[in-house]
Chain A
Amino acid sequence: MTPALTLSLLVSAAAGVTLLRCVWPDRAVAWSWPLGTALGTAFGLGVSSVLLYLWMLAFGPTRRFPLVESGLLIVVAIVGLARARWAARAAPPLGSDRAGHPRGYLMWAGGLALTAAVAAFLGLVRRQPHGEWDAWMNWDLRARMMFRGGESWSNAFSSLIPWSHPDYPLMVQSLVVRSWLYAGGETMTGPALVAATFTFGTVALLAAALFTLRSAGQAIVASLVLLSTPFFIVHGASFYGDVPVGLFFLVAFVCLALDGRHGTATRRFAVLAGLATGLAMWTKNEGVVFIPTVVAGILVSGWASGWPRVRRRLVGFGLGLLPMLLVAASFKLRLAPRNDLLATLGIERTLGWIADPRRYFLTLREFVTHVATFGNNGFGSATWLLLAYVLAMGIRRREDDRLWTNTAATVLALMLAGHYVVFVTMAYDLPRLLNSSLDRLLLQLWPSALLLLFMVVRTPEEAASRT
């Protein structure tokens, strides 16, 4: 089964990378293999998930899907190769601020942290091959119901089992079903491989983005922090949807950063940011909140960039988002029952919650506590560590990143504000929900927050050359 599972991952990643290669705006910026591979793998996971969903709507979860998907990959690869050959002549060089080489000790530390994190991930998966509670009562249960259901796969969305959240979007579950279709049967290695791809794919993308946009040393330091955030690895191995949605948030942020630098020459990065935002919505319901916050972030950046550019970005973003809106709408209208959180809301009760100042205070207190202690590994919390790090290294923001940093900071702040409002106005058992969900919501934003921070903080290479 393992070779077939590996093939499932390779097909998805290769399809994503070649598709991205096909649409890469070579006239604006040269193709970068590290960044293109990391971004393409994430897009490939999304494309595979949507393809399987559409396939299931037409034919159910049948064994022919891997053959058809692999055939499509071959077509895409031929087009991608032809385009790459053409672009090799036309591409201008990539403009980055890479300078000098990272110190050897940083490379060693990065290697050690990655090895230790992979070993821990494997250990956690051996300890809990079915993941944590929400994994087997929700994500893997839905995957099983679809895979085992055959022609009756849509019974997986029965409203008779509302506790399993049958309205949740299908990214993770469909990728698990896909892995089993490739393997020819159920194996818990399938969900483990999906979880590992999302977890270490996030690290790879953060590193590749910072390597391309800042420096190698910066990429290693940021990866060290992410790999050393205990909850990131532990939760990644629990097979929940939070790390996957965090990856698509990060993809959107990276595409917006590329758009910030090269947006005057091409609209394609804005389109890709829209697509990534749509894929986040296809992963978890929190992705729905992400859409208006990104739009607001782009609008806020308009004060600095001027409205014509904002209009351009918004149109591109909307074009990328639209296909995923249609896919998500078809799922919500055809298969998904009503969301349990919304279904249990009553106007009187909600108004009572809104008017209750204790809920605001409790939520605020928990937000402050959880943010301050996030990533605590015994040595200290990641929040305080990074605060000290920024004070030590200093800030050096590139002028052409100003647009993006405004957008990114606005989006992150609005996401936190959005979660705050949802807790205050919708949570039935507020203390319990804050306790069980807040760290997961922070984790979704963590890789993107690290990207923002390491895009503006001085790199180790710059610090070394300052003396």
Chain B
Amino acid sequence: MTSRTRAGLALVLLYALASSAAWIRLAATAPARAGSDEISSYERRFLELRTALPPHGVVGYVGDPDPEGATPAQRNATSLLHFKRYLLAQYALAPVVLIESTEPELVVGNFDPGSRPSLPRGFQIERDFGNGLVLLRRRP
């Protein structure tokens, strides 16, 4: 084997060594058990609400934070957070289809824990699940 081909193989081995070291570091710092991540925690919050929803159909959604802010960057950040919470609610509450609207009869309210949200007009609280989570129903 020439020194040139030896150098070629050595490069690949060094590249692999660098990645392997990073993989071992990553594995060593992983949590011991799954389920402590953000999505799993968020999902647990919706467990009880899910049983109160119909098995399928369309349900409305309102939630915090309002997509507003003093600067465009702040507006972007709050919009993204609002959207993420909506997506996570849909993920947790499948198979119902969750739409950002107060048109359906039932609406999920997903607010910051401890906040006193203003309810959409014409709706009353059907059930309060605590932690900022409510199910709203259109008043007859």
Report the Cα distance A388→B6, complex, angstroms.
Answer: 12
The answer to whether the Cβ of B4 comes within 8 Å of any Cβ in the partner chain is yes
Quick one: closest A residue to B30, CB to CB? A123
The answer to whether the Cβ of B119 comes within 8 Å of any Cβ in the partner chain is no
Report the Cα distance A120→B27, complex, angstroms.
Answer: 5
**Interface contact B26-A123, CB-CB below 8 Å:** yes
The answer to whether the Cβ of A323 comes within 8 Å of any Cβ in the partner chain is no
Residues on B with beta carbons closer than 8 Å to the beta carbon of A378: 18, 22
**Interface contact B1-A389, CB-CB below 8 Å:** no
State the interface size on chain B (CB cutoff 8 A).
Answer: 47
Report the Cα distance A80→B37, complex, angstroms.
Answer: 45
**Interface contact B34-A129, CB-CB below 8 Å:** yes
Residues on A with beta carbons closer than 8 Å to the beta carbon of B2: 463, 466-467
> A152 and B95 in contact (CB under 8 A), knowing A122-B27, A125-B34, A379-B18?
yes
Interface size band for A = 35 or more
> A224 and B91 in contact (CB under 8 A), knowing A161-B99, A389-B11?
no
Quick one: closest B residue to A221, CB to CB? B12
> A463 and B5 in contact (CB under 8 A), knowing A116-B24, A377-B18?
yes
> A126 and B12 in contact (CB under 8 A), knowing A113-B19, A116-B23?
no
> A382 and B7 in contact (CB under 8 A), knowing A122-B27, A140-B91, A149-B95?
no
Report the Cα distance A163→B34, complex, angstroms.
Answer: 28
Residues on B with beta carbons closer than 8 Å to the beta carbon of A149: 56, 94-95
Q: Among A136, A156, A228, which residue has the most Cβ atoms of chain B within 10 A?
A: A228
CB distance from B133 to the nearest CB of A (A): 19
Tell me the interface secondary structure of chain A in the complex. Answer: helix
CB distance from B59 to the nearest CB of A (A): 11
Report the Cα distance A145→B91, complex, angstroms.
Answer: 9
Report the Cα distance A452→B74, complex, angstroms.
Answer: 47
The answer to whether the Cβ of B40 comes within 8 Å of any Cβ in the partner chain is yes
Interface flags, A334-367, vs B, CB<8A=1, else 0: 0000000000000000000000000000000000
The answer to whether the Cβ of A112 comes within 8 Å of any Cβ in the partner chain is yes
Report the Cα distance A230→B20, complex, angstroms.
Answer: 10
**Interface contact B20-A116, CB-CB below 8 Å:** yes
Interface flags, A320-344, vs B, CB<8A=1, else 0: 0000000000000000000000000
Interface flags, A213-225, vs B, CB<8A=1, else 0: 0000000010011
Quick one: closest A residue to B5, CB to CB? A463
Among the listed A109, A130, A152, A156, which residue makes an inter-chain contact with B16, where contact means beta carbons less than 8 Å apart?
A109
| Complex A-B: 17 CB contacts under 8 Å | A126-B30, A127-B30, A130-B40, A136-B88, A141-B94, A149-B56, A155-B97, A161-B97, A221-B9, A230-B19, A230-B22, A378-B22, A379-B18, A380-B15, A389-B11, A392-B9, A394-B5
CB within 8 Å of B: which residues of A? 105-106, 109, 112-113, 116-117, 119-120, 122-130, 136-137, 140-141, 144-146, 148-150, 152-153, 155-156, 158, 160-161, 163-164, 188, 221, 224-225, 227-230, 233, 377-380, 382, 385, 388-389, 391-394, 458, 460, 463-464, 466-467
